[in-house]
Structure 1
Amino acid sequence: MIATFVIVSIAVFLYVRETYSIEVVSVGVIVTLLLFFSIPNLNLVLPLGNSELLSGFAAPALIAIMALLVVGQGLFQTGALEGPINTINKALTTDPRKTLLIVFIGAFSVSMFMNNTPVVVMFIPILAAMASRVKTSTSRYMMPLSFLCILAGMTTLIGSSTNLLVNDVLQRTTDFSLSFFTQLVPGLVLAGIGALYIILAAPFLLPERKNMENELTDTGRQYIAQIQVTPEHPLVGVSPVAGLYTKLKNVTVRMIQRGEQSYLPPFDETLQAGDVLIVAATRQSLSKLLSSQPEYLRGMLNITGFDDGERETDSQESIVISEAVIAPGSRMIGRNIEQIGFRRQTKCLVLGIQRRSRMIRTRMLDIRLEAGDVLLVFGYDKDVRGLRNNRDVLLLDWSRTELPDIRKSITARCIFFATIALAAFGILPIETSALTGALAMILTGCLNIRQAIRALDMRIFLLIGAAFAMGLALEATGGANFIAQGVVATFMPYGNQILISAIFLIVALLTNVISNSATALLFSPIALSVSAQTGIDPIAMVLTVIFAANCCFATPIAYQTNLLVMGPGHYKFSDFARFGAPLILILWISFSLLSPVFFEL
């Protein structure tokens, strides 16, 4: 037992110091435990062999977590939330502050039913744009976004991976298990208290730092591009307002070509099928345009010679956008895009041309290229990467980014809601429902295999496997029972309420030093041992661990969403302690006072 305590303590120390990566420490922990427990005659309380120590990697909870990451990635890759996001951006013009509140409520609601990380990734650019609109620093919104998503994770079984892991320990150790909404009421109460603190304290405790980038989203380089209005295009019938086409956000129309006629601003023409718009826009504006409505993307992909029959077998390829520079001495110099046959040669489409020397007001396809011109290219990932071998252009590989294939967005939404419903109503176990949803995302083309594998975080996988092994080691050697006896002996004289409060505080402090998943797995068997010794409901004990393990607010390393918002919010390490530590204290006091109500102690 003492040796196990030493191994666990060293593991915690290495996780905190971060001298070695989480992957290396996790594998080191597993190897050490495998070697240690191979020693014969250890006189264990419970049998513990290699199969038991490695069982964490096959735990249903871990499988469910990995599958849910794939489902969340499917939503992200298809831009399934682009519709709601566009609605939010429109509402900003009328009531920015009310819309800001709605955005936070939306992030909270979504985080109740899916992994927090993709939610935060999707809402970071929204809040950055909104902060610019209301003329406030992003540092006022990024940390509240992370904290609210963490609080939302307390409310349902799949709201956080921690909840699934603790439930797995509960099912393995006892005859009890958590249902989808077991923790909903106490979780919502604690989340409501935490949200109230965030609203009241944010103006005083969060820094007001200027954005380093100064909102580069729409002040970057302008590309000359053209948009062809097809018969079913969303621009058909659109009329200008004060000479401008307001439906094209952050895109400036410089000329309309209608047959042999050309129209210059200010415009008075209602757009018709067959019109060609010559526009000036940044790369990000053009990317957002292609991600806004399926018709824009479908129109690009259906251009003759680009998405022909040979592409049917590659329907799951990623669609990317990148930049390429016309090389000195290129055969393309002095010729336009049509004369080069760029699409035929490369299977890529030129979305726009950028030339620093002057603003060009002519059809993009009529522009004769010069050395140094930057082409904004669009196509399937394989074809764009093929430009590396093209001697006429220099592919700026670092600029290559994937576009969400919003043609599959409705399918992705249906799969997501079906996955949640099957688990929420108890039709299927959560791991079965999640695996089914992940498979459906791949089979329907919402994700390809590479994107699905990329969604599987190896750090989480190895960390949870190592934490399982440490928890089992504590059980097998009697270490969990020893700690439980110590906690009971110290706090039991003061009553069950004080005992539960003490466990909550210990877990809440440790979860800010090491991973919340590792903390939950270490303390779940300890909490169940306390339950066995005191007669407290085991459900109450595991919920105590769940709520406390989710109190990861005081450090940026406590939870991955904290790390995600650290850069966009321009935070320092101390900012999390100043704003997060009082939140932990408030939640601890609230839980301690309300625990008799929650659990009928």
Structure 2
Amino acid sequence: MELTNDMWVVIAILAVAIFLFITEWLRVDVVALGVVVCLTLTGILTPEQAIAGFSSSALITIAALFIVGGAVLQTGLASMIGRRILGIAGSDEKRLIVVIMVATALLSGVMSNTGTVAVLLPAIVGLAYSAKISPSKLLIPLAFAASLGGAMTLIGTPPNIIMADALKAANVERIANGLETFHVFQFFDFTLVGAPLLIGGVLFMATIGRRLLPDYKPDIEELTPDNPQELMDSYGLNGNLAYLRIQPDSKLVGVALGDTRIRRDYDITVVEIIRSNQLRPVAQFGKQRIMIETAGLTHIFPTAQTVLHADDILVLQGQEAAIRNLAYSHNLSFESPPEDTKETLVNRQIGVAEVVLPPRSSLIGKTLRQVRFGPSYNLTVLGIKRPGASEPPDIKKTTLRFGDILLVRGLWHDIMALKKQRSDFVVMGQPETMIDNTNTNKAPVAAAIMATMLIILMFEILPLVTASLLAALAIILTGCLTMDEAYESIDWKSILLIGGMLPMATALTEVGLVNEIALQVQNSVGSANPRIIVGVLFLLTAVLTQVLSNTATAVLLAPIALQIADRLQITPYSLLMSVALGASMAFASPVASPVNTLVLGAGQYKFADFTKVGLPLIVIGFVISVIIIPIFFPF
């Protein structure tokens, strides 16, 4: 095999891209855009070819499905469905594993895997508490079921859509050459093989797998709570706060909170400011203003710009000695907590939530002070939980790691804003249901739109891209999401990754590398059973998925699978299906998939726990795929 200069250039660009994907020195979307630029500058592709990926039907479909999935999450529909299904789980460990995995797989078949796990995780930890079972026995099954469920439908995961789009692209070329076209994958084609994989996975986890799962038994207060009030209790905040009143002669009067240096000098967090009987202007005639005095208490979420008044009550979190020093040096008096403390610390405007740092978060390796967390996100970090740590890390000094769980407090809208930054944060639960004027009344509408889209796809009434765009448009027109919310629900990092890596697949074909790889496979296999190729592609995809994005892996291997099928003169369905299923085998490490990272902290898992349970499941998936795929998709 003699490589041309163009081949070496493409190999070099691909090798650098893979290296950067693995090391995460740059964001994956930046790397993908770099690939586009390099392929253009080197003359491997024309500018038109290099940007063609951004107009592919696969990319448009995935973007539209993000909008539909965003509506399912934001209207609370996913949470309603999940809780109803989990209501039948009971308290037996084996039954819990089966119900959780089946329920999760059903949801992840029609919405994002990460969204499914984020919504169900708090409820499942609550089930573990009720059944007196360690969460570590249930959360790996939750994460693995999300990946298996995504493999069961055409829209369940991006690699499936990419395989269907690869067949469409191949058909265009076959029509030009006067050849018979291939049948494009339909909605339930993946279910034929995905369902046996799910059944095998559920049986394994309910029998052998659950014995391999660790049995970490955290204290009750360490369990992930089911609502914000329980969350406050779990961090010991409701009973571990001090209330100090600012005296009229205190030097804090008239000073903006950010200028008081309370956090820096005393390591104390101002959780809330309680202000009573304010004078509020209601009318003005010339220079005369009419003022009224408001009754009761006003609860203010503190920001750096909040100006402190005499008689304000500061709700503080910190060491008792530091709080006493602050009170003494600034003339503050201790007060009893107001009767409605719990209701005001968490309400319809202000609340708390846990956020997990995923593997590619830009906060990793930095302290909260270095990233200026408070000013940047308008939120206060009240606590940090770290998987495997016996003591909570110091909020002020600790260097953040992937898997760290931050307890943040602030306006619900600011907490929701973290959901837009998927590469940096994964927000646990559904804070959107706590916001006033939430769209929960649109849940039936979102359900109807989703059901209609599924029916259209099942009966092949419209192509996938058309049906998904129609559903996304209906979501916006019916008010399930605003246009801004629709934009925010799209994972733009994934969109840029797909649009940037599709040209690499084109380049591999253009310079002849795909053909050379297929030729080498043909010479190696000869007349051997094509099942061997199915198995090799499955394992190659599964291995790459542990270190690369499953989407990038699928984009790179799809054209190779097509060319191998052409060389061996067999239909491409079985080879493409093996790539799609292998891309869903992200089980062997906590960084192989975002869903694994989500459960890492809540389950107190170690890296080896995923490997110990995940590798046997990959082997089971390999055996099932090699047996089942050729039955439903003959060569």
TM-score normalised per structure 1: 0.70
2:272 is aligned, of 319, 325, 344, to 325
Q: How many residues align?
A: 467
After superposition, residues 143-292 of structure 1 pair within 5 angstroms as 143-174=140-171, 175-176=181-182, 177-211=184-218, 214-215=222-223, 217=225
Cα root mean square deviation, aligned: 3.7
Residues 222, 282 of structure 1: 8 Å contact kept? no
**2: CA distance between counterparts of 1:144 and 1:357?**
48
**2: CA distance between counterparts of 1:89 and 1:188?**
20
* Distance verdict in 2 for CA 1:485–1:446, change over 3 Å: same
**2: CA distance between counterparts of 1:599 and 1:76?**
35
**2: CA distance between counterparts of 1:170 and 1:197?**
33
CA displacement, residues 228-263 of structure 1 (integer Å, 9 cap, x when unaligned): xxxxxxxxxxxxxxxxxxxxxx9xxxxxxxxxxxxx
Deviation at 1:482, TM superposition (A): 0.9
Residues 325, 374 of structure 1: 8 Å contact kept? no
Deviation at 1:127, TM superposition (A): 0.9
Deviation at 1:578, TM superposition (A): 1.7
Structure 2 unaligned segments of length 5 or more: list them: 1-6, 172-180, 240-269, 280-291, 300-313, 317-333, 352-374, 379-407, 416-430
* Distance verdict in 2 for CA 1:338–1:76, change over 3 Å: farther
After superposition, residues 348-427 of structure 1 pair within 5 angstroms as 374-378=344-348, 397=410, 401=415, 402-404=431-433, 405=438, 406-427=440-461
Residues 516, 550 of structure 1: 8 Å contact kept? yes
1:16 — aligned with what? 22
* Distance verdict in 2 for CA 1:529–1:446, change over 3 Å: same
SS in 1 for 2:461: coil
CA displacement, residues 471-526 of structure 1 (integer Å, 9 cap, x when unaligned): 00000001111111122222335332223222222222112121111111111111
1:236 — aligned with what? none
* Distance verdict in 2 for CA 1:219–1:478, change over 3 Å: closer
**2: CA distance between counterparts of 1:34 and 1:551?**
33
* Distance verdict in 2 for CA 1:493–1:124, change over 3 Å: same
**1: CA distance between counterparts of 2:137 and 2:487?**
34
Moved more, 500-509 or 471-480: 500-509
CA displacement, residues 45-86 of structure 1 (integer Å, 9 cap, x when unaligned): xxx422122111111111111111111111111111344445
1:4 aligns with 2:10: yes
Residues 126, 226 of structure 2: 8 Å contact kept? no
Deviation at 1:108, TM superposition (A): 1.4
SS in 2 for 1:192: helix
SS in 1 for 2:580: helix
**1: CA distance between counterparts of 2:97 and 2:211?**
18
* Distance verdict in 2 for CA 1:86–1:540, change over 3 Å: closer
**2: CA distance between counterparts of 1:140 and 1:337?**
56
**1: CA distance between counterparts of 2:48 and 2:504?**
14
1:516 aligns with 2:516: no
* Distance verdict in 2 for CA 1:442–1:337, change over 3 Å: farther
After superposition, residues 93-104 of structure 1 pair within 5 angstroms as 98=95, 101-104=98-101
**1: CA distance between counterparts of 2:223 and 2:542?**
37
Residues 324, 374 of structure 1: 8 Å contact kept? no
1:499 aligns with 2:533: yes
1:261 — aligned with what? none
* Distance verdict in 2 for CA 1:92–1:535, change over 3 Å: closer
1:435 is aligned, of 469, 472, 479, to 469
**1: CA distance between counterparts of 2:572 and 2:274?**
69
Residues 194, 583 of structure 1: 8 Å contact kept? yes
Deviation at 1:96, TM superposition (A): 7.9
**2: CA distance between counterparts of 1:586 and 1:89?**
26
2:289 — aligned with what? none
SS in 2 for 1:76: helix
Amino acid at match of 1:217: P
Amino acid at match of 2:444: I
**2: CA distance between counterparts of 1:329 and 1:102?**
51
**2: CA distance between counterparts of 1:131 and 1:589?**
32
1:452 — aligned with what? 486
SS in 1 for 2:133: coil
**1: CA distance between counterparts of 2:580 and 2:491?**
21
1:339 aligns with 2:295: yes
1:136 is aligned, of 133, 137, 146, to 133
1:29 is aligned, of 28, 35, 54, to 35
**1: CA distance between counterparts of 2:600 and 2:527?**
43
**1: CA distance between counterparts of 2:498 and 2:218?**
36
Residues 508, 550 of structure 1: 8 Å contact kept? yes
Residues 61, 431 of structure 1: 8 Å contact kept? yes
Residues 136, 216 of structure 2: 8 Å contact kept? yes
* Distance verdict in 2 for CA 1:190–1:559, change over 3 Å: same
SS in 1 for 2:547: coil
1:119 aligns with 2:66: no
**2: CA distance between counterparts of 1:113 and 1:513?**
25
**1: CA distance between counterparts of 2:139 and 2:227?**
22
Amino acid at match of 1:201: I
Residues 163, 576 of structure 2: 8 Å contact kept? yes
Q: Equivalent pairs: percent with the same residue?
A: 30
SS in 2 for 1:325: strand
1:58 is aligned, of 55, 68, 75, to 55
CA displacement, residues 159-204 of structure 1 (integer Å, 9 cap, x when unaligned): 2111001111111023321111223222222222222222223322
Structure 1 unaligned segments of length 5 or more: list them: 39-47, 224-249, 251-280, 284-322, 344-352, 389-394
Residues 218, 282 of structure 1: 8 Å contact kept? no
SS in 1 for 2:77: coil
**2: CA distance between counterparts of 1:282 and 1:542?**
54
2:571 is aligned, of 509, 528, 537, to 537
* Distance verdict in 2 for CA 1:540–1:217, change over 3 Å: closer
Amino acid at match of 1:129: G
* Distance verdict in 2 for CA 1:543–1:84, change over 3 Å: closer
Residues 554, 576 of structure 1: 8 Å contact kept? yes
**2: CA distance between counterparts of 1:591 and 1:222?**
44
**2: CA distance between counterparts of 1:373 and 1:159?**
40
SS in 1 for 2:155: coil
2:249 — aligned with what? none
* Distance verdict in 2 for CA 1:486–1:413, change over 3 Å: same
* Distance verdict in 2 for CA 1:331–1:151, change over 3 Å: same
